[in-house]
């Protein structure tokens, strides 16, 4: 299969109706915080056990088309010796890989940040591909206030996202482009909409400059939401504002938009996605690429105990099914009663 055909085949698999992505690519510090909440020490073995539990959940492939893995997980095996990427693939779940190296302060831009990791990326992608990865993800973050993000942060992060996407496609890997406008703060929904629109415009200008094939990439944006310290918004309002911004900024050639949950509760993330998909036909598939919003219920059921694997997997499968329904605009809140 030639390169464009391979990229198209991966995209086609990821954007199946009623399916989304499981983000299981938490960095060391992030997963340590989540484990701390349930009294589990984060070490290589506990992380392996947790991610094996996720990927071996019976029936998960019915609602999950791809999984974003952390580099460590790509090289780990289940108890029977099966590589974890293969464990996912057996369920029809395409393995992907987080490739950025995290964020740091942007020089001469107080309060703004930049994502690093472009150095040696092509070489790393070749290795990841040999380990089974067929798509990648790079996250850029944008802090929001009356002054933030600054123009430099918007342009620099868009440039990095576009460089990453071009290198991925050149390497036979489908890029997921993730510009996250953070919920932290007390900013209004209108401010979030303005920043999101500005960021997405800049990202697609940069993708065009880097000759990225839009049909062979996916977008992972944040929803338009008020800051965490502001009053929450109803799903209908979130849907209307988010879709308006997307229609203004995202070319129809992009096959899929897979939202991040970004600090929403599992129920909020599902309800907001459902509301968007009830607005009628869109140029792109609207789906999910959730981390905490999928993993929190099973994590609370697991508590690091092997004996709790089955209820934890049931909790994950239910969350995945509810989000699969939301992708079709068919979410039923009454089913949440079984999600505890």
CATH code, domain with 210: 3.20.20.70
Tell me what pLDDT residue 2 has: 76
Torsion-angle region of residue 333: left (phi > 0), alpha (psi -120 to 50) or beta? alpha
Distance CA 199, CA 161 (A): 11
Distance CA 142, CA 153 (A): 8
pLDDT higher than threshold 80 for residue 134:
yes
Distance CA 276, CA 271 (A): 9
Respond yes or no: is residue 228 known to be catalytic.
no
Distance CA 5, CA 10 (A): 9
SS3 218: strand
User: CB neighbours of 84 closer than 8 A, spacing ≥ 6?
Assistant: 48, 51, 52, 55, 69, 73, 74, 76, 77, 78, 95
Tell me what pLDDT residue 112 has: 98
9-19 residues labelled b (16+ CB within 10 A) or e (exposed): ebbebbbbebb
Instruction: Quickly state the pLDDT bin for 257 (edges 50, 70, 90).
Output: very high
Token pair recorded at residue 336: 């949440």
Tell me what pLDDT residue 340 has: 45
Annotated catalytic residue within 178, 180, 202, 296? 178
Query: In percent, how much of the chain has pLDDT > 70?
Result: 99
SS3 39: coil
Q: Are strands 103-105 and 113-115 parallel, antiparallel or unpaired?
A: antiparallel
User: CB neighbours of 119 closer than 8 A, spacing ≥ 6?
Assistant: none
Domain count, the chain: 1
Which of 265, 180, 285 is CA-nearest to residue 224?
Answer: 180
pLDDT higher than threshold 90 for residue 62:
yes
pTM listed for this prediction: 0.97
Distance CA 129, CA 40 (A): 32
pLDDT higher than threshold 90 for residue 52:
yes
The tens digit of pLDDT for each residue in 14-48 reads 999 999 999 999 999 999 999 999 999 999 999 99
| Cα-only R_g, the chain | 19
Instruction: Quickly state the pLDDT bin for 335 (edges 50, 70, 90).
Output: confident
**Residue 77 gets which letter from DSSP?**
B
SS3 69: strand
Question: Mutual orientation of helices 28-37 and 44-55 as an angle, nearest 10°?
Answer: 80
Respond yes or no: is residue 220 known to be catalytic.
yes
Nearest-5° angle of CA 264, CA 47, CA 133? 80
User: CB neighbours of 336 closer than 8 A, spacing ≥ 6?
Assistant: 267, 322
The tens digit of pLDDT for each residue in 103-114 reads 999 999 999 999
User: CB neighbours of 250 closer than 8 A, spacing ≥ 6?
Assistant: 200, 204, 219, 257, 283, 284
Per the CB < 8 A criterion, the answer to whether 95 and 85 are in contact is: yes
Query: Bridge partners of 66?
Result: 21, 94
SS3 263: coil
Token pair recorded at residue 116: 């690093």
pLDDT higher than threshold 60 for residue 338:
no
Annotated catalytic residue within 19, 98, 137, 220? 220
The tens digit of pLDDT for each residue in 166-175 reads 999 999 999 9
Question: Mutual orientation of helices 121-130 and 151-170 as an angle, nearest 10°?
Answer: 50
The tens digit of pLDDT for each residue in 208-235 reads 999 999 999 999 999 999 999 999 999 9
SS3 138: strand
The tens digit of pLDDT for each residue in 149-168 reads 999 999 999 999 999 999 99
Query: In percent, how much of the chain has pLDDT > 90?
Result: 96
For 17, the domain range is 3-339
The tens digit of pLDDT for each residue in 68-96 reads 999 999 999 999 999 999 999 999 999 99
């Amino acid at each position: 299969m030639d390169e464009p055909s391979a990229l198209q085949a991966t995209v086609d698999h990821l954007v199946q109706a009623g399916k989304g992505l499981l983000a299981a690519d938490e960095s060391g510090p992030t997963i340590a915080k989540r484990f701390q909440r349930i009294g589990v020490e984060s070490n290589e073995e506990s992380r392996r056990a947790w991610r094996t539990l996720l990927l071996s959940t019976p029936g998960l492939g019915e609602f999950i088309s791809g999984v974003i893995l952390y580099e460590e997980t790509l090289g780990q095996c289940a108890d029977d010796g099966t590589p974890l990427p293969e464990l996912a693939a057996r369920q029809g779940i395409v393995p992907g890989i987080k490739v950025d190296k995290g964020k740091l302060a942007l020089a001469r831009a107080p309060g703004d940040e930049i994502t690093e990791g472009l150095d040696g990326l092509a070489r790393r992608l070749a290795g990841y591909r040999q380990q089974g990865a067929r798509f990648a993800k790079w996250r850029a973050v944008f802090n929001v206030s009356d002054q933030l993000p600054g123009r430099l942060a918007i342009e620099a992060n868009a440039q990095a996202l576009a460089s990453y996407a071009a290198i991925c496609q050149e390497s036979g890997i489908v890029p997921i482009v993730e510009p996250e406008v953070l919920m932290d703060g007390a900013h209004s929904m209108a401010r979030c909409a303005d920043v999101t629109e500005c960021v997405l415009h800049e990202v697609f200008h940069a993708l065009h400059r880097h000759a990225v094939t839009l049909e062979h990439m996916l977008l992972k944006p944040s929803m338009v939401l008020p800051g965490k310290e502001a009053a929450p918004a109803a799903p209908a309002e979130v849907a209307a504002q988010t879709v308006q911004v997307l229609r203004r900024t995202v070319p129809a050639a992009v096959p899929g938009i897979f939202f991040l949950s970004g600090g929403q509760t599992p129920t909020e993330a599902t309800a907001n996605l459902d509301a968007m998909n009830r607005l009628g036909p869109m140029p792109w598939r609207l789906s999910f690429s959730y981390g905490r919003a999928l993993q929190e219920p099973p994590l609370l059921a697991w508590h690091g105990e092997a004996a709790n694997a089955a209820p934890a997997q049931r909790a994950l499968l239910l969350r995945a099914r509810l989000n699969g329904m939301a992708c079709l605009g068919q979410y039923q809140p009454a089913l949440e009663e079984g999600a505890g």
